[in-house]
């Protein structure tokens, strides 16, 4: 549950409402402190999300080193091409056309900075298959505005979910925070009890 820094046992280094909602499932009082770190990285999608999650977490941890800081970064990759957030509606339409009728990968890097200096990190990958989309469906979806701040130009948990035929791997990873992976890191840090 989200709370103030004074009451928190954990800091979420993200302003994403989707990550806030998912982290609340653990019942740990957490505060939200978005990172101001540079969000450019090079390499494969997996390499980039790992580096960006680490960087975001480190940025917030420098200011709140008395609490564990959880950071995450998610990218959509089609073949070897990274599909970030669309720059405009034409870019969103381009991405959706590229995803149409194909499998793609969603990578999320998760990093937990723990007081005392430990850094626990993992990358989770989920495969997603899109239905074949016609131009009318793409235009209707882009007109909703939903694709504009989403990696890969869609949100599986909202309207964009109508395009998803299959998911192989963690469904919550596609939303932006792989719950089983986060549970493993929180357990390793002693924030929740293991089985």
Report, as residue numbers or ranges, the catalytic residues: 73
DSSP H helix total and E strand total for the chain: 6, 7
How far is the CA of 30 from the CAs of 58, 88, 108, 110, in angstroms? 17, 34, 20, 16
Q: Partners of 76 in the beta sheet?
A: 83, 106
CA neighbor of 67 nearest in space, from 57, 80, 77: 57
How many residues are listed for the chain in this entry?
195
**Phi and psi for 12 in degrees, rounded to 5?**
-100, 115
């Amino acid at each position: 549950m989200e709370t103030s820094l004074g009451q928190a046992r954990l800091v979420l280094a993200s302003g994403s409402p989707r990550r806030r909602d998912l982290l609340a499932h653990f019942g740990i009082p957490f505060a939200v402190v978005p990172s101001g770190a540079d969000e450019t990285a090079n390499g494969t999608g997996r390499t980039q999300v790992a580096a960006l999650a680490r960087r975001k977490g480190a940025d917030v941890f420098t200011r709140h080193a008395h609490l564990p800081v959880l950071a995450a970064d998610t990218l959509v990759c089609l073949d070897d091409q990274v599909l970030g957030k669309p720059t405009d509606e034409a870019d969103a339409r381009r991405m959706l056309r590229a995803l149409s009728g194909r499998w793609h990968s969603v990578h999320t890097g998760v990093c937990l900075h723990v007081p005392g200096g430990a850094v626990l990190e993992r990358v989770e990958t989920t495969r997603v298959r899109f239905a074949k989309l016609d131009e009318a469906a793409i235009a209707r979806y882009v007109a909703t505005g939903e694709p504009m701040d989403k990696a890969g130009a869609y949100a599986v948990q909202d309207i964009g979910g109508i395009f998803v035929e299959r998911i192989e791997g963690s469904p919550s990873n596609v939303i932006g925070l792989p719950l089983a992976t986060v549970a493993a890191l929180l357990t390793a840090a002693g924030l929740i009890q293991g089985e």
